């Protein structure tokens, strides 16, 4: 019954958002709004992704998890309340995001939030773009708190210049912000808890300052997390492609697959996988009836764990991310 699934994106307007999702990926975003996020695969309360292809079109990911969780997940663990374990987005940061943190698992329940470990793959970057991740060496909690009071806490953050193809891993508890001029593929735990430390003294879409969560942030931040580096993994050579591991974490794993020429790959084993095309074109084939779905840049495909004989065929100059939930 199941097959490779694609979903209708869920667009989120954000004060820091832009229009790059329309320019880069031809997404039909609402006119006249700053769209900061496209939720590509989501099983959040009130935001369940709707299937866009095949016989199940019109049903949503919540329905899938209620009726076919074992077939979807295989050995992967669901999120709280039996929800799909991951949330996949594309972010368009026309302006800087707030300086923020997500609570670690050890603190989340106490703070009435959800832990969120995530990764960022830089899909597009303006010249001079940067991330703010972790603390500068030597910054203490006392100094951090004083800088919050002074309105200069951004001075405590480690700034990292980035370009397209760079990757950053962000375990929960790591303070961070996305700089302006970036489009990012984000793979994360199924969570939507964010504590803002500082928001650059701007107002939100309603004209009012956005809420800060200083106490929760201070309880969540890892104050021993100094100047983390971008993912530095090297490429390995496959039969007709090269690949590298971007994330290998107990929650999820991510590989980048790069095809210079047309080619194909058949992932080993039956696991819950997500394919996200960064550039080029890929066709995912799987299931008893060998149902296929063609993916363009900016499209994501969920491959249920129950599918056998999955094959991914690519056009020349194609890059995609392969995500496995654990």
The residues annotated with a catalytic role in the active site are 196
Nearest CA among 73, 71, 75, 46 for reference residue 60: 46
If phi over 0 gives left and psi between -120 and 50 gives alpha, with beta otherwise, what is residue 253? beta
Q: Torsion angle, CA of 283/281/260/310, rounded to 10 degrees?
A: -20
Contact 192, 115 (CB under 8 A): no
Q: Torsion angle, CA of 74/75/80/81, rounded to 10 degrees?
A: 40
Q: How far is CA 47 from the centre of its chain?
A: 16
Read off φ and ψ for residue 273, nearest 5 degrees.
-130, 155
Per-residue exposure over 175-207, b if at least 16 CB sit within 10 Å of its own CB, e if not:
bbbbbebbbbbbbbbbbbbbbbbbbeeeeeeee
Distance CA 277, CA 135 (A): 32
Distance CA 320, CA 241 (A): 11
Distance CA 284, CA 304 (A): 12
């Amino acid at each position: 019954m199941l097959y490779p699934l694609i979903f209708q994106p869920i667009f989120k307007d954000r004060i820091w958002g832009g229009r790059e999702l329309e320019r880069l990926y031809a997404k039909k975003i609402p006119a006249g709004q700053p769209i900061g996020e496209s939720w590509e695969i989501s099983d959040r309360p009130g935001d369940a992704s709707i299937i866009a292809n095949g016989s199940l079109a019109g049903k949503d990911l919540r329905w899938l998890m209620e009726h076919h969780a074992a077939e979807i997940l295989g050995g992967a663990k669901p999120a709280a309340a039996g929800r799909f374990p991951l949330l996949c987005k594309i972010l368009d940061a026309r302006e800087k995001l707030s300086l923020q943190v997500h609570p670690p698992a050890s603190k989340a329940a106490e703070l009435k939030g959800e832990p969120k470990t995530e990764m960022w793959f830089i899909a597009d970057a303006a010249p001079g773009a940067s991330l703010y991740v972790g603390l500068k060496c030597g910054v203490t909690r006392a100094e951090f708190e004083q800088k919050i009071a002074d309105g200069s806490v951004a001075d405590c953050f480690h700034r990292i210049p980035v370009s397209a193809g760079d990757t950053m891993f962000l375990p929960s508890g790591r303070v961070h912000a996305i700089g302006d001029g970036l489009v990012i593929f984000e793979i994360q735990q199924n969570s939507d808890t964010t504590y803002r430390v500082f928001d650059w003294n701007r107002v939100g879409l309603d004209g009012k300052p956005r809420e800060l969560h200083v106490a929760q942030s201070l309880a969540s931040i890892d104050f021993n997390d100094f100047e983390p580096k971008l993912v530095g993994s090297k490429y390995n050579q496959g039969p007709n492609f090269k690949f590298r591991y971007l994330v290998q974490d107990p929650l999820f794993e991510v590989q980048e697959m790069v095809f210079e020429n047309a080619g194909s790959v058949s992932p080993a084993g039956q696991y819950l996988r997500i394919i996200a095309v960064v550039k080029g074109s890929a066709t995912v084939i799987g299931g008893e009836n060998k149902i296929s779905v063609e993916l363009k840049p900016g499209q994501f495909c969920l491959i249920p764990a129950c599918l056998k004989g999955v094959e991914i065929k690519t056009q020349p100059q194609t890059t995609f991310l392969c995500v496995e939930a654990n």
